Amino acid sequence: MKYEKMRTYISTHATLAAEQWFKDQCRNLYARFYLYYRPSDGVEPGALLVSEDPPNDLFIKASDTRLSPGWSTEQVRKFIYETAQTLPILPTTEETS
């Protein structure tokens, strides 16, 4: 995956995860949300998810940092984007879009 595609992929998924966090956090101000990821299998990209708990055993907590209800959506997006750059979520083959 080329550098520009990697940046676009991470940025898009960080934005989507931050938007979902905002909706979920507004529904429950006392919920404790964290960033989880599913690693890439080498061919298909992995995934990012903001949740109170991982949905299954394939997802791993990306950071022990709680996404604070006091943060703005942009602060959460930036946190997810910066954290995601260190995670093994990108495919290693060029064929994947």
What pLDDT sits at residue 94? 60
Query: What does the pLDDT profile of the chain (97 residues) look like in tens digits?
Result: 577 888 898 999 999 999 999 999 999 999 999 999 999 988 888 999 999 999 999 999 999 999 999 999 999 999 999 999 999 988 876 654 4
Parse the chain into domains and list their residue ranges: 3-84
State the DSSP string of 52-85.
Answer: SS-SSTT-EE--S--B-TTS-HHHHHHHHHHHHT
Residue 16, SS3? helix
Tell which residue, 22, 40, 39, has the closest CA to residue 31. 22
pTM above 0.85?
yes
